[in-house]
Amino acid sequence: MLKEVRKIANLSKLNVSDDEIDQLADEFKKILGFIDQLSQVDTQNVKPFYELNTDNHFRNDKIINQHGSEAVKSLAPNEYNGLFVVPRILQND
């Protein structure tokens, strides 16, 4: 479990000490135990507390050409072959 907690902390970009890893592992065990208890509850005959409203209260989708593509591309700082060019934000690991 400690290995998994370290991996989660690393993926979350959290600096966690060894003492905190032990504490988090205990808390994860408690949480997973509680989830296991909940998954064992028989809910077969329990009605939901809510109803999904399937009425569409939004406008109908209509295709309208408010701005020509050339006008939009002219606003872009950099464009290549009809696509917007943006700076890379993700690094290859």
**How do residues 61-73 score in pLDDT, each as one tens digit?**
788 777 777 777 7
Within a domain: 14: yes
Instruction: Name the pLDDT band for 37 (thresholds 50, 70, 90).
Output: very high
Between CA 44 and CA 93 the distance in angstroms is: 46
CB 28 within 8 A of CB 5: yes
Within a domain: 26: yes
Residue 18 to residues 10, 23, 24, 71: CA-CA distances in angstroms? 13, 9, 10, 56
Looking up tokens 């809910």, which residue turns up? 43
Within a domain: 28: yes
pLDDT value for 93: 66
Between CA 24 and CA 83 the distance in angstroms is: 45
CB 5 within 8 A of CB 24: yes
Range with the poorest average pLDDT among 8-17, 31-40, 53-62: 53-62
Mean pLDDT for the stretch of residues 47-61: 76
Residue 25's domain spans which residues? 2-39
Domain count, the chain: 1
pLDDT at 36 > cutoff 90: yes
| CATH number where 6 lies | 1.10.20.60
pLDDT value for 11: 92
